[in-house]
Structure 1
Amino acid sequence: MVPSAESTHLSRPQACGRRESTMTRPVATVTLAALVVLAVLAPAAPAAAQAPAVSPVTDAVLADPPPESWLNWRRTQDGWGYSPLDRITRENVGNLRMVWSWAMEPGSQQTTPIIHEGVMYLASPGNIVQALDAATGDMLWEYRRQFPTARGRGRPNRNIAIYQDKIILNTADANIVALDARTGEIVWEAEVADSSKGFFFSSGALVVEGVVVSGMAGCLRFWEEGCFITGHDAETGRELWRTSTVARPGEPGGDTWGDLPMMFRGGGDAWIAGSYDADLGLTYWGVAQAKPWAQVSRRTDADALYTSSTLALDPATGEMRWYFQHLPGESHDMDETFERILVEVDGRPSVFTMGKLGILWQLDRETGGFINATDLGYQNIVDIDPETGRMSF
């Protein structure tokens, strides 16, 4: 069930992940021991000994993926989450029947698989990646990261990424691991932050032009380094840049935290993967609320940049081209860190997003200028200036 002896200690088959085919197996309660025997001895998965062929996933392929592929968290770099496949319709959807199922690891499940050339790359809680034959459910290889269980094994992993011949996993212990898409063996590994300080990844990377762009999470505690977004070389894992999502003392925006030392400027997590505009050469990221949550704890009612904002970053350098702060200095944990969806409206390139308040924002993708905010009417926390988009509580 594993491709080579070298990867056995990290990629051993596990009973809880055994495929169940509804075409051949009755509904029954199966003991763990029986599952272990099946995982090791069952002859139903001869393909597991053969590594899948993988065509390189280039920047051109990521920009325009084949209809049957799902190569980004939301399929395409613009964040649409739309599939052009049309064989399943309103008329025939009721005729679908289950062909196989796969038992995932216990924990919070929020993952989106990668689909490339008939192989499903699936992440599970606990930093586990499995390559499955998408037609049969047979496991081709598996990677299991080993780290202290106290460090968030059950945390969600919302997505993994694929680039060239590598699967990119952002881990719950704040590392990035590149796996060979054919075998699951480690190609490179980079420690991004010290997980003993609470840092972790809960979402995967956005890979553009050879750069693995990742947003850090777990910025609940107070440490001098603060929260950040990083760029790593997709070929080697070398860190190329690191951009703080919290304005530092003495830097532009630093005064929006009052006189708080950097150690106490918390929050600013970027826990959802970003989007990318190839024409403008910009990636777009949402940033979560400030911590401490309450203004009184921060000893200031100032804006606390760059929390609760949209950031436009150059993926090659990490330079912040612009920012727009949706909820300056807020105290209600109303995250604005969710997906950024790129749409052209009346010829104007726009980025749309919505946070917990249910306000749909439209910003100019090139400049970050405010265009519109539509309140869906489910909140009574803020009022919006229709000209500037500035909030008042």
Structure 2
Amino acid sequence: MKKRYTLEQKRWDDPAEHAMPEHTRVPARFNIGGVEIAPATVLAPMAGVTDTVFRRFIKNASMFSADGSAGLTADGVEAVTSNQQSGCGLIMTEFTSADGLSRMRETKRKRYLTYYDDEHPISAQIFGSNPETLADSARICQDAGFDLVDLNLGCPAKRVVACNGGSGLLRDLPLIEVIFKRVRAAVSIPFTVKFRMGWNDHHIVCVELAKMAEDCGLNAVALHARTREDGYTGQARWEYIAAVKDAVTIPVIGNGDIRTPEDAAAMVDATHCDAVMIGRAAPANPWIFRQIAQYTATKEATGVGSYEVPTDADRYRMIRTYFEMLVDEIAIEERAEAARAEAITASGQVAREQRNRDCVGKMKQFASWFTHGVPGGSGLRKSIFEAKNGAAVLGSIEEFFEGRANATPHNDSGLEAVHEPEAMIA
């Protein structure tokens, strides 16, 4: 059977329930080279997902301080929040082709590497198989101001593997070693790698690869505890994260099957990893990082972890906020084009129309993720996908949430603290 690796296919197969560790919690911080990451949570790089709008959206959704103010002052005004108060310690870009970066014009390259000051610390992820091209791309990322650069050795998509990129490189450890050394020599910022256990169960290389990374001067490793052949099926095998942690002294980031704060604490307890990385749970539950921070803080204070579950009003505000950010980003790009006199050209007009189509596509994509697990969500998804423009998408959402508000007692008093919430994704 043909395997597909789009985000929509990444549903969990019979996810495991973990016994809650009595004392273990996600660490407050860890360091990658000279960069402090606090708390020890990382937004995974996801193709087609973790653009600058989504990254900033996650950062904003994750704001949390230990007094429960969620980044607000006593007057209800948004506070200036330090990284130590944010539920997401590190964000990563979509993976970017090293070959593409090295060939692009400077203006186009800047668009691919766009980020804002409030995204720091931020890591740029690149993929490819040519050591010199990867080294050149890493220098480009460093010159663009990224705090870290990361090499993708985990993507299982056929088009990437066919170019010997992503998890395809797991079959060629000698080439990986050359890449590690060339990139390490090219940049002074922290250099990390995200990889899978191996190509398949007959070719597990994660421990050997982690040792090689440490020997070549990399500053941290992140393991998605599945093979390339696994794709996103079955359960992540956290014992391999533990094996990697036992084998190296550099920080180890665990990735795979973290759906809830309890899962995050259980992974740290089972593997002793230094940090946790969250991918497919984030688009469906943008509050996951804040929930982990709340769970950690309440467990520290009371011995029992608890966190907030969003109400319908919170879900509605969240989806509106994200869509508004998408529209604002288009406006920023169009102002930049106007300054370069591109908008008056035929190609500029085509680019504008494409961006608007992309915006509507992102709206539909995000709404699809977010409505999984929401009662009546299938009807909302149908109306969203039938919408022809952004206004129609928003109209469908407003109609849906207004209907739910009228059908059930309204609760807009905030979020309800619970210990074991319902799963946020089907």
Query: With structure 1 as the length reference, what TM-score do the two structures score?
Result: 0.28
Larger strand fraction of residues: 1
Give the number of the structure with larger relative contact order, counting CA–CA contacts within 8 Å between residues 6 or more apart: 2
